[in-house]
Amino acid sequence: MKDVFITSSEEETRNLGKSMASSAVPGTLLCLSGELGSGKTTFSQGFLEGMGASRPYISPTFILMKQYELPRPTDTGIKRVYHADAYRIEGKDFQELGFEEWREDPKGIVLLEWPERLGELLPEKRIDIGFAALSENEREITVTEE
């Protein structure tokens, strides 16, 4: 299944993330791909807000992974969100940091930026979300569920 969304502002991109959070189920891996500045972190901030995670929502570019414990579980049973960024690390190193544990957490969900850096570590069952800048404010966001 493939859906394409066009957003015309950061707020709309954030709201799309928030909207997708409302239907998230435990154990889901969301793979966010796109160039720098294409909207991945903005979408993630909306997703985290929609999940009820406490602020601040920071980009995990330099810390690699930020875990958000939710103040109350979602209706589907999610208790935590792992927001990870593979931009500055190789797949084998990411695996040593616990990627498989996060991915298999029955009460968690993973937002992964730069998934292409992990290659074979990515499972077939995932949701790929591609981001493309169409203009300064417009983004094309393609959601593909494997």
Mean pLDDT of 31-54: 92
User: Three-state DSSP class for 29?
Assistant: strand
Measured CA to CA, the distance from residue 144 to residue 146 in angstroms comes to 6
Q: Which amino acid is at 70?
A: L
pLDDT digits (tens, 9 = 90+) for 76-98: 899 999 998 887 776 677 777 77
Which structure tokens are listed for 78?
A: 């999610």
pLDDT digits (tens, 9 = 90+) for 16-38: 999 999 889 999 999 999 998 89
pLDDT of residue 102: 85
Residue 115 sits at φ, ψ, to 5 deg, of -65, -25
68-to-6, 43, 107 alpha-carbon distances in Å: 28, 16, 12
Question: For every residue of 43-92, which 3-state class applies, written as one string?
Answer: HHHHHHHHHCCCCCCCCCCCCCEEEEECCCCCCCCCCEEEEEECCCCCHH
Task: Judge contact between 91 and 118, C-beta under 8 A.
Answer: yes
CATH for 27-137? 3.40.50.300
Supply the mean pLDDT for the chain.
88
